[in-house]
Structure 1
């Protein structure tokens, strides 16, 4: 939800755009989005001009949960036992690994 919330905070996003921002195949976030919709955190709507497109919006409940994201992230970071520098280095290494594994 944290990653989705960051993207959805600016308004509606297509599932394809969300997947791209998270470096996932378009079908990968769909089960998560469906679960979040069942929980009342997001709404899914078909595109008006192209019904193949699906757009996702945060609901009031989703925005409330997203407001807690910094607190949740802080708990997760603390739970790693890593220093801030180690965590940034790890993120950089994982980003480089991901980019290196992308097809040319």
Structure 2
């Protein structure tokens, strides 16, 4: 007869199984989805991170680098070379604020604004390539948005285990 009053200690080997991790399917899905974007963006001469930054600019330009960092969830040292490349391609203009030269303002050039029209087919083509019912896609995005909101509220390096 088993004593049910004593909880069983968790088997740490089970916790270390790859198929039990939340992080791995998120990582794998991110890589696979990004890979699906490649053939859609390559004819436009864009990488996936450049496409993300352009989508932010199409909504919010002109805006500061710090605004893009926040929305794209990228580090400044990742974003700066990306913005330099977009500037070399003629899609954005970087200017220092006259009030505070530490602040860099990003605006779209005419070519950057016109690129939006050429990218209009990307979201539809991407969703079609996923072959996922629209309801599941909407539900998944909602769950991911909720997860991101939660993760953004957890201080970096904090121990989230209950005592």
Give the TM-score of the pair, scaled to structure 1.
0.83
Aligned mates of 2:135, 2:79 — CA distance in 1: 30
1:41–1:61 CA contact under 8 A, matched in 2: yes
Higher relative CO (CA 8 A, sep ≥ 6), structure 1 or 2?
1
Aligned to 2:56: 7
1:43-82 correspondence to structure 2 within 5 Å? 43-82=93-132
Q: Does 1:36 align with 2:86?
A: yes
1:48 deviates by 1.0
- Which digits, 9 at most, give the CA deviation of each residue in 1:55-98, with x for residues without a partner? 11111111111122321111111111112212111211211221
Aligned mates of 1:45, 1:98 — CA distance in 2: 31
Aligned to 2:149: 99
1:47–1:55 CA contact under 8 A, matched in 2: yes
1:100 deviates by 1.9
Q: Does 1:84 align with 2:134?
A: yes
1:30 deviates by 2.1
Give the TM-score of the pair, scaled to structure 2.
0.56
What do you get for the CA RMSD once the two structures are aligned?
Answer: 1.9
List alignment gaps of at least 5 residues for structure 2: 1-49, 156-163
Shifted more, 76-85 versus 24-33: the winner is 24-33
What is the aligned length? Answer: 104
Q: Does 1:19 align with 2:69?
A: yes
Query: Which structure has the larger Rg?
Result: 2
Query: Which runs of structure 1 show a deviation greater than 4 angstroms over 4 or more consecutive aligned residues?
Result: none
